[in-house]
Amino acid sequence: MGEAPTGAAGFLNVSAAEKTFGAARVLDGVDLSVARGEFISLLGPSGCGKTTLLRIVAGLMRPDRGRVVLDGQDITTRPPHKRDVGVVFQNYALFPHLDVRANVAFGLKARGAPADTIASAVSRQLELVRMSALADRSIKALSGGQQQRVAVARALAVEPKLLLLDEPFSALDRKLREAMQVDLKRILRDVGTTAIFVTHDQDEALAMSDRIAVMSGGRIEQLGTPAEIYDRPATAFALGFVGLSTRLPGRVTQADGDEVVVSTAFGPVRGLGRFLPGSPVLVGVRPERMALDGRGENVVRATLVDAVFKGARVQLHFHAPEGAEVQVEAPSLPAGVAPGGEMTLSFAAADTRVYPLPGDMEAALAAQVAA
């Protein structure tokens, strides 16, 4: 507390932002620093505070405490229309009484730009989002994907310093969503806009972001590149929320420098972490780090329950006798293995991460000890 946030030289700096609604603390001291031109995702379940953080940056909401600094200027109390921060809303919020062209022109008109500047900027934006042919359409005559493009064009037309996107793809079907992700990335790269993208969809965040801020309970659990978030989750929440994983509750029996040995339902497991013996912990392993060949420090035997063919890879779900579940991802199903069969699985200590046991898993550990 009281210290300057790390990366204070960022283009956007949010420091120690707090927001409470009634008894609910929606933002609990959030620090976030975004570099110029960066595409950053706020990823988390609903209620984690990501939309609140976005609204605070947009100026649509005031934080109870904390500061927002954009491009060297403190904008914490500045009203939204003086911020130069564009927003693409979840439901697009296009003006229903205006056509496509007038929607895109709205911001420049409000700023009193000359008519010819507006006209050329609008046609440039519509071209960028490939909507030039529909410029004179009514908003109601557009599909969801087209509305989305207009919303992006409208926000970019005023050349905002920062673009905020609040789950812009959530109303689109899967195929369209993936096409729009590629499109949006291309558009933002062309324009060079700094962007914050709010989503609860981890695939979307992993695919699009330069960095991801994983949020939970009004805090940023981890801020890092998609690879860092996936390969080295900082907390048990980040491990569980992003990607699949095998998670085993247990108790530390032996501390050994950067490694600990944890007693789990599978027996002793060695992993990375610094804990005192006796600490309740959670052991986590990514499915593709699990091997079916028995090589690795940690070895468990489990029963194959289900094999899901995913095209390039196969997802295998195992059950251990103690009720624990193990997720494995392999290039293919080994010959002679069928659901119901028992197999030896192994994983390296270097691929095994040990976290403090989250509160909601204490019961699982207690049940396991009792058994």
Q: Which residues here bind other proteins, judged by CB under 8 A?
A: 58-60, 79-87, 89, 91, 93-97, 106-107, 109-111, 138, 154-155, 158
The candidate with the shortest Cα–Cα distance to 20, out of 62, 57, 55, 54, is 62
Pairwise CA distance, residues 209 & 199, whole Å: 11
Q: What crossing angle do the helices spanning 174-191 and 115-128 adopt, rounded to 10°? A: 130
- CB of residue 144 to other proteins, shortest distance in Å: 16
Q: Is-contact 35 211, C-beta < 8 A?
A: no
Strands, DSSP E only, in 89-218?
Answer: 162-166, 194-199, 211-216
Q: Between 75 and 349, name the residue whose CB sits nearer to other proteins.
A: 75
Q: Is-contact 151 129, C-beta < 8 A?
A: no
Q: Between 61 and 234, name the residue whose CB sits nearer to other proteins.
A: 61
Q: Between 61 and 292, name the residue whose CB sits nearer to other proteins.
A: 61
- CB of residue 97 to other proteins, shortest distance in Å: 5
Q: Between 79 and 334, name the residue whose CB sits nearer to other proteins.
A: 79
- CB of residue 37 to other proteins, shortest distance in Å: 20
Q: Between 59 and 233, name the residue whose CB sits nearer to other proteins.
A: 59
Residue whose structure tokens are 């609204």: 55
Q: Between 96 and 192, name the residue whose CB sits nearer to other proteins.
A: 96
- Run of H or E residues at 127: helix 115-128
Q: Between 164 and 187, name the residue whose CB sits nearer to other proteins.
A: 164
- What values do phi and psi take at 306, rounded to 5? -155, 140
Name the strands in the sheet holding 162-166, side by side, starting at the edge strand that comes first in the sequence. 85-88, 162-166, 194-199, 39-43, 211-216, 219-224
- CB of residue 306 to other proteins, shortest distance in Å: 43
Strand 267-272 to 342-347 pairing: unpaired
- CB of residue 198 to other proteins, shortest distance in Å: 14
Q: Between 110 and 179, name the residue whose CB sits nearer to other proteins.
A: 110
- CB of residue 96 to other proteins, shortest distance in Å: 6
Contacts of 367 (CB under 8 A, 6+ apart): none
- CB of residue 320 to other proteins, shortest distance in Å: 49
The candidate with the shortest Cα–Cα distance to 160, out of 11, 312, 357, 324, is 11
